Structure 1
Amino acid sequence: MVVMMVVVVVAVVMVAVVLVAVVMVVVVMVAVVMVVVVVVAMVVVVAVVVAMVVVVAVVVAMVVVVAVVVVAVVMVMAVAVVMVVVVAVVMVVAVVMVVAVVVVVAVVVVVVVAVVVVVVAVVVAVVVVVAVVVVAVMVLLVAAVDVDDVVS
């Protein structure tokens, strides 16, 4: 009877260890997928910013060419061209600032989600360990009761 109870306790502990390992593997897989998604999103954002910078550079180059022609023809137009270049530079700075904010927010979201995933994993592990201990104690208490004492 005691040997059977010990076998049951060992089996319950082994099942609990396997469950904790499965939970940890799932948590790690979810965290890896989330990090990959955020990295891909950040790469897309950087690619969009690079494309926008190239477009703005082309616009600035065209404005410079037009500025040379306009300055050669009318000196007054040079002021307007300088204003357009200033606006283009301000637009580039604004886009870079927005991208920086998006990247910071994405990093904060990844950190918060990773912390939540770790907390959930720890809570699940604690619950499983407590359940295993409770079951083991109950099994040991049942094993400690002598059948002859109960019958008599």
Structure 2
Amino acid sequence: MGTVPTVTVLMMVMVVMVVMVVVLMVVVAMAVKVVMVVMVVIGRDVMVVMLVTVVMVVMVAMVMMVVMVMVVMVVMVVMVVMIVMVELVVMVVMVVMVVMVVMVVMVVMVVMVVMVVVVVVVVVVVVVVVVVG
């Protein structure tokens, strides 16, 4: 009985991970486009500073993604092991774990959105300052 929900949960986790990777790739692609446009508008020095900032943000996001994927993997393994070991206790523990994983995913999502917003704001501010100044 416990195996079907587990498979469903695992599939959901995998889907979430794939979606997040895709989102991250789209964000990176958009950042590159923005950088290209900005490069034409403003000078080299400001550009370098901005590039470094963007790269750092992307790196942090990547590291967080990797960490999250590792956490999810560990949780999955633990869940599978526990299902093999015991059946009843597992259901409770599984629910708790799933909730934890979902919360981690949510936090990472929020953090990534915040990062993207920060990068966009920085880019806009720099462009405005350079154009106005």
Superposed pair shares fold, TM > 0.5: yes
1:44 aligns with 2:60: no
Which structure has the larger Rg over C-alpha atoms?
A: 1
1:108 counterpart residue number: 124
* Residues 71-104 of structure 1: CA deviation (Å, up to 9, x unaligned): 3323221111111111121022112111111111
Report how many residues are paired. Answer: 88
Of structures 1 and 2, the one scoring higher in RCO (CA 8 A, sep 6+) is: 1
Greater mean deviation of Cα atoms: 81-90 or 69-78: 69-78
2:77 counterpart residue number: 65
1:94 counterpart residue number: 110
Identity between Structure 1 and Structure 2 (%): 49
Question: How many Å apart are 1:116 and its aligned residue?
Answer: 2.5
Unaligned runs of at least 5 residues, structure 1: 1-29, 118-152
Unaligned runs of at least 5 residues, structure 2: 1-41
Q: Distance in 1 between matches of 2:94 and 2:81?
A: 10
Q: How does 1:1-152 map to 2 (within 5 A)?
A: 31-72=43-84, 73=86, 74=89, 75-117=91-133
Q: Distance in 2 between matches of 1:42 and 1:115?
A: 20
Q: Distance in 1 between matches of 2:44 and 2:54?
A: 15
Calculate the aligned-residue CA RMSD, in Å: 1.6
Q: Distance in 2 between matches of 1:85 and 1:71?
A: 17
Q: Distance in 2 between matches of 1:113 and 1:36?
A: 16
Question: How many Å apart are 1:70 and its aligned residue?
Answer: 2.5
